[in-house]
Amino acid sequence: MKIIRKSLLAFSLTGVVLTSSAFGYSQEERIKDMRAMEDGVQQMQKGFLYNNLQDIQKGAELLKKHTAKIEPPVEGADEFKRSYAYDLTKREAKKIIKLADDSVSKYKDHRPRQAMNNFTKILKQCMTCHARIRKW
Protein backbone atom coordinates (compact mmCIF):
# COMPACT_ATOMS: atom_id res chain seq x y z
CA MET A 1 0.00 0.00 0.00
CA LYS A 2 2.79 2.34 0.94
CA ILE A 3 4.57 1.60 -2.31
CA ILE A 4 1.46 2.34 -4.31
CA ARG A 5 1.04 5.68 -2.58
CA LYS A 6 4.62 6.61 -3.28
CA SER A 7 4.37 5.83 -6.95
CA LEU A 8 1.10 7.74 -7.17
CA LEU A 9 2.81 10.71 -5.62
CA ALA A 10 5.71 10.44 -8.06
CA PHE A 11 3.22 10.24 -10.90
CA SER A 12 1.33 13.34 -9.83
CA LEU A 13 4.57 15.26 -9.37
CA THR A 14 5.57 14.45 -12.93
CA GLY A 15 2.18 15.75 -13.97
CA VAL A 16 2.87 19.05 -12.26
CA VAL A 17 6.25 19.40 -13.90
CA LEU A 18 4.85 18.66 -17.34
CA THR A 19 2.01 21.14 -16.90
CA SER A 20 4.24 23.90 -15.69
CA SER A 21 6.66 23.39 -18.55
CA ALA A 22 3.73 23.74 -20.96
CA PHE A 23 3.12 27.19 -19.49
CA GLY A 24 6.82 27.93 -19.26
CA TYR A 25 7.06 29.24 -22.81
CA SER A 26 8.19 32.79 -22.36
CA GLN A 27 7.41 35.89 -24.37
CA GLU A 28 11.06 36.00 -25.30
CA GLU A 29 10.88 32.53 -26.83
CA ARG A 30 7.70 33.46 -28.67
CA ILE A 31 9.30 36.55 -30.17
CA LYS A 32 12.32 34.50 -31.19
CA ASP A 33 10.10 31.92 -32.89
CA MET A 34 8.01 34.63 -34.55
CA ARG A 35 11.10 36.30 -35.99
CA ALA A 36 12.38 32.97 -37.28
CA MET A 37 8.96 32.34 -38.85
CA GLU A 38 9.17 35.73 -40.50
CA ASP A 39 12.63 34.82 -41.85
CA GLY A 40 11.19 31.57 -43.19
CA VAL A 41 8.33 33.37 -44.91
CA GLN A 42 10.73 35.91 -46.40
CA GLN A 43 13.03 33.23 -47.70
CA MET A 44 10.09 31.49 -49.32
CA GLN A 45 8.99 34.76 -50.90
CA LYS A 46 12.48 35.31 -52.24
CA GLY A 47 12.40 31.82 -53.72
CA PHE A 48 9.19 32.64 -55.55
CA LEU A 49 10.50 35.95 -56.82
CA TYR A 50 13.77 34.49 -58.04
CA ASN A 51 12.34 31.16 -59.12
CA ASN A 52 14.57 29.25 -56.75
CA LEU A 53 13.33 25.98 -55.29
CA GLN A 54 16.09 25.79 -52.72
CA ASP A 55 15.04 29.05 -51.08
CA ILE A 56 11.42 27.96 -51.02
CA GLN A 57 12.37 24.66 -49.42
CA LYS A 58 14.75 26.14 -46.86
CA GLY A 59 12.29 28.86 -45.96
CA ALA A 60 9.51 26.31 -45.53
CA GLU A 61 11.69 24.14 -43.28
CA LEU A 62 12.63 27.10 -41.07
CA LEU A 63 9.02 28.23 -40.92
CA LYS A 64 7.75 24.76 -40.00
CA LYS A 65 10.37 24.14 -37.35
CA HIS A 66 9.43 27.28 -35.42
CA THR A 67 5.72 27.15 -36.09
CA ALA A 68 5.63 23.75 -34.41
CA LYS A 69 6.88 25.33 -31.18
CA ILE A 70 4.68 28.36 -30.74
CA GLU A 71 2.40 28.81 -27.77
CA PRO A 72 0.00 31.70 -27.18
CA PRO A 73 0.34 34.35 -24.50
CA VAL A 74 -1.99 33.26 -21.68
CA GLU A 75 -0.68 35.18 -18.66
CA GLY A 76 -3.63 36.26 -16.58
CA ALA A 77 -6.18 34.67 -18.90
CA ASP A 78 -9.08 32.73 -17.40
CA GLU A 79 -9.69 29.08 -18.25
CA PHE A 80 -11.96 29.88 -21.18
CA LYS A 81 -9.61 32.32 -22.87
CA ARG A 82 -6.69 30.05 -22.18
CA SER A 83 -8.19 27.06 -23.91
CA TYR A 84 -9.44 29.24 -26.78
CA ALA A 85 -5.90 30.56 -27.26
CA TYR A 86 -4.35 27.09 -27.18
CA ASP A 87 -6.93 25.68 -29.58
CA LEU A 88 -6.48 28.54 -32.00
CA THR A 89 -2.70 28.24 -31.87
CA LYS A 90 -2.75 24.52 -32.49
CA ARG A 91 -5.15 24.94 -35.39
CA GLU A 92 -3.26 27.81 -37.03
CA ALA A 93 0.11 26.10 -36.57
CA LYS A 94 -1.20 22.93 -38.16
CA LYS A 95 -2.57 24.89 -41.12
CA ILE A 96 0.67 26.80 -41.61
CA ILE A 97 2.75 23.61 -41.57
CA LYS A 98 0.45 21.90 -44.05
CA LEU A 99 0.35 24.93 -46.35
CA ALA A 100 4.16 25.16 -46.32
CA ASP A 101 4.43 21.48 -47.27
CA ASP A 102 1.80 21.86 -49.98
CA SER A 103 3.47 24.96 -51.34
CA VAL A 104 6.80 23.15 -51.75
CA SER A 105 5.28 20.07 -53.32
CA LYS A 106 3.18 22.11 -55.79
CA TYR A 107 6.24 24.08 -56.77
CA LYS A 108 8.23 20.90 -57.34
CA ASP A 109 5.31 19.66 -59.35
CA HIS A 110 5.65 22.68 -61.69
CA ARG A 111 2.46 24.24 -60.44
CA PRO A 112 3.82 27.62 -59.31
CA ARG A 113 0.45 29.32 -59.23
CA GLN A 114 -0.96 26.89 -56.68
CA ALA A 115 2.31 27.01 -54.77
CA MET A 116 2.03 30.81 -54.52
CA ASN A 117 -1.60 30.54 -53.61
CA ASN A 118 -0.64 28.34 -50.66
CA PHE A 119 2.04 30.81 -49.74
CA THR A 120 -0.39 33.72 -49.54
CA LYS A 121 -2.67 31.54 -47.41
CA ILE A 122 0.18 31.13 -44.93
CA LEU A 123 0.30 34.89 -44.47
CA LYS A 124 -3.42 34.89 -43.91
CA GLN A 125 -3.02 32.42 -41.03
CA CYS A 126 -0.38 34.65 -39.42
CA MET A 127 -2.78 37.58 -39.62
CA THR A 128 -5.72 35.60 -38.29
CA CYS A 129 -3.83 34.76 -35.15
CA HIS A 130 -2.37 38.24 -34.74
CA ALA A 131 -5.79 39.81 -35.09
CA ARG A 132 -7.33 37.49 -32.50
CA ILE A 133 -4.80 36.96 -29.76
CA ARG A 134 -1.96 39.39 -30.17
CA LYS A 135 -2.05 42.51 -28.03
CA TRP A 136 -1.57 45.52 -30.29
Note the residues at the interface with ligand HEC (CB under 6 A).
Answer: 27, 30-31, 34-35, 37-38, 41, 63, 70, 72-73, 89, 92, 96, 122, 125-126, 129-130, 133-134
Burial status of residue 133 (CB atoms within 10 A of its CB: 0-12, 13-18, 19 or more): middle
Smaller CB separation from ligand HEC, 8 or 24: 24
Could you report how far apart the first and last alpha carbons of the chain are, in Å?
Answer: 55
Residue 76 CB, nearest approach to ligand HEC (Å): 13
Q: How many CB atoms lie within 10 A of CB 39?
A: 15
Q: How many CB atoms lie within 10 A of CB 37?
A: 23
Smaller CB separation from ligand HEC, 35 or 81: 35
Smaller CB separation from ligand HEC, 37 or 56: 37
